[in-house]
Structure 1
Amino acid sequence: MTSPTLDPYRYRQIGPVQLYLGDAREVLAEMPDASVDCIVTSPPFWGLRDYRTGAWHGGDPACPHLLHDPRRTDGAVCTACRARWLDPQYGLEATLDDYLDHLTAVFDQAMRILAPTGTCWLNLGDCYSTASGGAPKSGRPQPGGLRPARPRVQDMLPPKNLVGVPWRVALTLQSRGWWLRNAIVWSKTNPMPESVRDRLSTSYELLFLLTKSQSYYFNLDPIRIPLLRPEAADGTRIIGGARKGSTGGIGATARRRGATAYGKYSADDAAVESRAGRGNLVPLGHAHTGAHPKGRNPGDVWRIATRPYRGSHVAPFPIDLPLRAIAAGCPPGGRVLDPFSGAGTTGLAALQLGRAYLGVDIKAAFHDEALARLTPHLPDRLDDEGEG
C-alpha cells in the first residue's frame, strides 16, 4: 500500500514492514479507508521532551534569533530578523488545547483507516501544572515569540495540579465518536524515582482501548493469566475442598462435549463467533464462573516493568504492552499501525505475533533505528533486497 504522494525516501518497505516518514496526520490522510486492523501507539507526552526536529526558516541565518520567551514552540517568530521556528513534532505545543487539537486530527484519520472491527490502544502519561505553565522540569508548553496565545495551564489550574492529560485526550476522542472501552493502568514494577515530598511518586501510565463501534475483534484467550491451580478449571478441585460446579469449573465429560466454564463454547471450533457476528470473541451464553480452563482475565491493571533501551529514542514503552494489545485486539494475519513509530517497539511485537506492521514517524533516524531492530525478526530473515 505505497502512498502515491510519498517519494522513496519517505517510504520504505521490507517484507511485512512499511515505514512512512512524515507528519502522522498527513501520512494517515493518504491511506485508504479501513486498511488497518489494529492501532497501538504512544504519542509524545505533552511538555515532556524535545526530539530536536525543529529549524529556523527565513530571516537572517547569522541572527541569534531572539524570542520574547526562550522556549521555542512551532510558529515562534524571532523578534530581530522575523525568522520563523517550524517544528513538526507533537508534545511541545504552546498550550494543552493545541496538543489536543493535534492529536484529535491524527485520530480522526486513524478512525477512518481503521477497519470497522478494529481496535486502537493509546498509551499516555500525565504531568503537573507549574508556575511557568508546563510539565515538571521542562515547563515548555508556553506561547513562543509573537505567536497568539491560547489559555495556558496556569490560566486553568493553579501550580502543582495534576493536569489529567490522558483523560482529557480520551474524553475528547470519545466526544468525536470513539468508543472508550477500557482505561488500563500500566503499573510499573520499577518506576522512576521522584524527589517529591508533598505527594506520592508516579508509578503508572494509562493505556486506553478505543474502538469504532460496540462490536469489534477481541480475543481474550491469548492474554489470559494461567491458573495457579489448573485442576480447578475441570472441577476436580475447588478452593475450600468442596466441588462447586456453579462457581468454579466443569467436569471432564462436559468439557469433551464442548462446554467450558463460560458456557458451551470452544475457541477452536467457534473462533470467529461473536455476540453480534462481527468479530467480538466473546463466548455466547457464557455464565460468570470462578475459573476458565485457559486462565483468568488479566483485568485492567497490568503490572509490567519498564525495560532498558540504549538507542537514541529515549522513551520506548516495553514490548509487553503492544504484545498484549495486538494478541487480543488484532486478528491473525492482520495489519498493525503505529502513527508515532519511534524505535519500532510496536512493530517488533507485531512481527513476533505474525502480523504486518505500518509505522509513521517524522524523524528518519528513528526509522533507521527501528529497521535495525525489526530486520532480525522478519519472516525468513528478509534483508534490504525486499525493500520497496
Structure 2
Amino acid sequence: MQHERITPPPKLELQGSLILEGDARLALQRIPDNSIQCVVTSPPYWSLRDYGIEGQIGLEDSVYQYINTLVSVFREVRRVLKPDGTLWLNIGDSYTSGGRTWRAPDKKNQARAMSIRPDTPEGLKPKDLIGVPWRLAFALQQDGWYLRSDIIWHKPNAMPESVKDRPTRSHEYIFLFSKSERYYYDYQAIREENGRNRRSVWHINTQPNKEAHFAVFPTTLVEPCILAGSKPGDYVLDPFLGSGTTAVVCQNLDRKYVGIELNPEYIQIAVKRLTSILTEAPQVTKVVI
C-alpha cells in the first residue's frame, strides 16, 4: 500500500494588493491566518446564472448543497479574518423552477437565459420563494459567525419583472457578520447626511457594466461596508471578486485588497478597471494547488 503525505500549500506573504485567479475554496488556503481586516463580497446566487466555467458555485443540484458549499468557503474566510474583523455579505434570493429545465432571456437582460435549472428542492413547492439569504445567514450563524445585522439594499432602478401574481422584487440583503463578539466598526465614517446613525435600509441604484453583461456590485454599496469595517492601509478581501468593484473601492479609499476570482474573463475586466486608476496593472497570481 502506498502512502503519500499531504502537506498544506504554503501561505502567501501579503505585500500589497493582489488578485488570485482560481477557486476560492483553494485560493483561500494560501492566505495567512488573521491577516484580513474586512471582507466584502457577493457570491454567485443559486440557480440564477450559468457562468459556463468548471468549478462554478451556484448550480449545485440542491440549494442545501449550495449553502453547505458557501458555509465551507466562509469557514476558511473566518480563519483569515482578524479577531476584530467583519464580513459584509450580499446575497440575493430565487424561486424554485417549477420543473422547468430552462429559463428564457429577458429583453433587458440577455444574461438571464439559462439552459440548466436545478430541480425544485426537497421540502419546497413549485413557485416557492426559496429564502436563500436567511437560510445562508442562519447556517453561517450556526457555524460560528456572529450575525450582527441584516441590511436591505433597496434598488430604486430595479429590473422589471413580467409577473402578475406577486410584487416585483426590488431589494436584496446584505448581512453584517463578525468573527468575535467585539469587533471594529467605525459608525462615524458612515453616518447619514443628517448626522444620525446609519439606518438598515440603503437606497442604492444598480450599476450596469457593458463588458460584464450584468449588473455589477455598485461602488456606492461597497463603500460604506469598507469605511465602517476597516482603516486606511488595512487588507480587505473579496473571495468572489467578479468585475473587481471591491478592489476599485479599496484603491480609492487607500485600503489594500486581496481578490479571488475563478473566471479569467472577469479578472480581465477587473484588471482593466483597476488599471484605469493605477499607474501600473495590478498583480494577478494564478492559484494551482
Return closer, same or farther for 1:133/1:187 CA change in 2, 3 Å cut-off.
same
Output the CA distance in 2 between the equivalents of 1:117 and 1:170.
Answer: 19
CA contact (8 A) 1:133 1:153 kept: no
How far 1:108 sits from its partner (Å)? 0.6
CA contact (8 A) 1:187 1:205 kept: yes
Number of the residue aligned with 2:269: 369
The percentage of aligned residue pairs carrying the same residue is 42
CA contact (8 A) 1:20 1:361 kept: yes
Return closer, same or farther for 1:387/1:361 CA change in 2, 3 Å cut-off.
closer
Number of the residue aligned with 2:245: 345
CA contact (8 A) 1:39 1:337 kept: yes
Q: Would you say 1:89 and 2:56 are equivalent positions?
A: yes
CA contact (8 A) 1:128 1:134 kept: no
Number of the residue aligned with 1:44: 44
Output the CA distance in 2 between the equivalents of 1:93 and 1:344.
Answer: 25
Return closer, same or farther for 1:220/1:39 CA change in 2, 3 Å cut-off.
same
Gaps of 5+ in 1: 7-12, 54-86, 143-151, 228-294
Number of the residue aligned with 1:195: 162
- SS in structure 2 of the partner of residue 312 of structure 1: coil
How far 1:153 sits from its partner (Å)? 3.1
**Quick one: which amino acid aligns to residue 203 of structure 2?**
R
CA contact (8 A) 2:85 2:178 kept: yes
Number of the residue aligned with 1:62: none
- SS in structure 2 of the partner of residue 158 of structure 1: coil
Return closer, same or farther for 1:315/1:99 CA change in 2, 3 Å cut-off.
farther
Return closer, same or farther for 1:141/1:323 CA change in 2, 3 Å cut-off.
same
**Quick one: which amino acid aligns to residue 24 of structure 1?**
A
Q: TM-score normalized by structure 2?
A: 0.86
Q: Which runs of 4+ in 1 moved over 4 A?
A: 3-6, 133-139, 384-388
Residue number among 133, 141, 159 corresponding to 1:166 in the alignment: 133
Residue number among 199, 209, 213 corresponding to 1:299 in the alignment: 199
Q: Would you say 1:311 and 2:211 are equivalent positions?
A: yes
Paired residues, what number?
267
Cα RMSD between the aligned structures?
2.3
Output the CA distance in 1 between the equivalents of 2:102 and 2:86.
Answer: 30
Output the CA distance in 2 between the equivalents of 1:107 and 1:33.
Answer: 13
**Quick one: which amino acid aligns to residue 110 of structure 1?**
V
Q: TM-score normalized by structure 1?
A: 0.65
Number of the residue aligned with 2:148: 181
CA contact (8 A) 1:28 1:110 kept: yes
Gaps of 5+ in 2: 1-8, 105-113
- SS in structure 1 of the partner of residue 150 of structure 2: strand
Q: Which has the larger radius of gyration?
A: 1
After superposition, residues 231-246 of structure 1 pair within 5 angstroms as: none
How far 1:5 sits from its partner (Å)? 8.0
- SS in structure 2 of the partner of residue 308 of structure 1: strand
Q: Higher relative CO (CA 8 A, sep ≥ 6), structure 1 or 2?
A: 2
CA contact (8 A) 2:85 2:184 kept: yes
* The 10-residue stretch of structure 1 (305-314 or 90-99) with the greater mean CA deviation from structure 2: 305-314
- SS in structure 2 of the partner of residue 359 of structure 1: strand
CA contact (8 A) 1:225 1:298 kept: yes
CA contact (8 A) 2:24 2:73 kept: yes
* The 10-residue stretch of structure 1 (125-134 or 320-329) with the greater mean CA deviation from structure 2: 125-134
CA contact (8 A) 1:117 1:217 kept: yes
For residues 253-286 of structure 1, what are the alpha-carbon distances to aligned partners after superposition, in whole Å with 9 as ceiling and x for unaligned? xxxxxxxxxxxxxxxxxxxxxxxxxxxxxxxxxx
Number of the residue aligned with 2:25: 25
CA contact (8 A) 1:95 1:141 kept: no
Output the CA distance in 2 between the equivalents of 1:134 and 1:297.
Answer: 46
CA contact (8 A) 1:129 1:135 kept: no
CA contact (8 A) 2:98 2:120 kept: no
**Quick one: which amino acid aligns to residue 122 of structure 2?**
D
